[in-house]
Amino acid sequence: MTTHEWKLHETFYFPAEYGAFSEAAELKVTPGFTEDRTEDAIRLQGIYHIAANVLFDQDKPVESSKEDRLVIDDVEVENGKGYFEYAVPLNVDLPSDIAGSLDLQVKEVRAEQLEDGGLRLEWAVHLEDAAALLEEPISTEEPVVQTVDETKQATQIAVESTSHLEFLAAADKAVENGQKEMEDFLLYIAELDDDVTRKIFHSNNVFIEAERQTSEETE
């Protein structure tokens, strides 16, 4: 199975009155993107949506802010606990020979406390070939004959599955609404003046030059 992987990082600072960043109680990084396929590459453009619950140490002094620091002013803070969201640009060029739909999985999200009171956030992005995941081995086992009790049980499961499918349909609708909001946000970014875009959105362009093959080792 072919796996592509890349890592990113971003450093955040907060207003001095909140205190220094202490630790992250919860972190979530969600990628959202559109894809453009050409003969040479597959280009992904979008954002990594960051949502974080963080703790501040109000007794630790914070160094004065520098002009090049990314300061998060919009933080919900109460009793030393804060919550914020932020969007980091997603720009990735992948090899053109990847087939099937693309599913980015964010793993290994880590938060590091910096000496000057900042938060360094790191995360890894994995992309597995969806076409390879859909391949199923052909079964050589003989068919199993169900008994009467097993048939009744299967009927009950089918009834319960109907309710489950209704739940999945509602979940899919919620996902579609989220994707619509993501598309509107990407359109907003695209329409921004270039100079404004450079100042507000940091560049995180990633070019995947090689792919790593993973296989089971045989003894």
pLDDT at 62: 78
pLDDT tens column, 6-36? 999 999 999 988 989 999 999 999 999 999 9
pLDDT at 75: 93
Residue 124 has pLDDT above 90, yes or no: yes
Would 161 be classed as within a structural domain? Answer: no
Nearest to 87 by CA among 77, 72, 102, 76: 72
Average pLDDT over residues 51-67: 84
Buried/exposed 85-105: b ≥16 CB within 10 Å, e otherwise: ebbbbbebbbeeebeeebebe
The residue behind tokens 């004959």 is 145
pTM higher than the cut 0.85: no
33-37, 53-57, 101-105, 194-198, range with the lowest pLDDT: 194-198
Which among 96, 103, 105 is positioned nearest to 207, based on CA atoms? 96
Q: Is residue 160 part of a domain?
A: no
Task: Supply the range of the domain harboring residue 8.
Answer: 2-133+194-213
Q: Is residue 155 part of a domain?
A: no
Give the pLDDT of residue 161.
46
- CA 38, 42, 48, 49 dihedral sign is positive
Instruction: Give the total number of structural domains in the chain.
Output: 1
Tens-place pLDDT, residues 139-183: 455 555 555 565 555 555 444 544 445 545 555 555 565 566 666
Domain annotation covers residue 38: yes
> With bands split at pLDDT 50, 70 and 90, how would you rate the model's confidence at 125?
very high
